[in-house]
Copies of this chain bind each other. A is one copy, B any other.
Amino acid sequence: MEQYKPGLHLLATFTAPETALQDIEACRALFDRLISANQLVKVGETYHSFPGSGFTATVCLTESHISIHTWPEYGHATFDVFLSNYKMDNEPKVRAIYNAVIGAFTAVEVNRHEIRR
């Protein structure tokens, strides 16, 4: 049996403009575009808005998941992208998605963790 090949999980805590942290539809469109561009397979998703505040979302992929939770009242968000390497090395895709999200939110990273798991 082949050995399990750990995938890369990137976790950001970032600050961003309040308007971006409230715009659930822009986030959904961004995630869908990135999932499609990176040929990932979405098997389910939840996007949930908090009235007058931020939103929370998880996207379940055959390759693992993407999540974001925003607190516009603090200018704060947490964002994760984790892709396993079951069929191929997905590390470049993790980094591409991460960078695209940071860019789209004009985010400033408070911290970033990189975990291979």
Contacts and interface: CB of A to CB of B under 8 A. Distances in A.
Contacts of A47: 44
Nearest to A50: B62
Contact of A76 (B4, B11, B74, B82): B4
Interface in A86-117: 86, 111, 113, 115, 117
- A contact patch SS: strand
Contacts of A62: 48, 50, 56
Interface size class, chain A: 35 or more
B56 A58 contact: no
A57 interface: yes
Contact of A43 (B44, B48, B113): B48
Contact of A44 (B13, B58, B78, B113): B58
A74 B2 CA distance: 8
A61 interface: yes
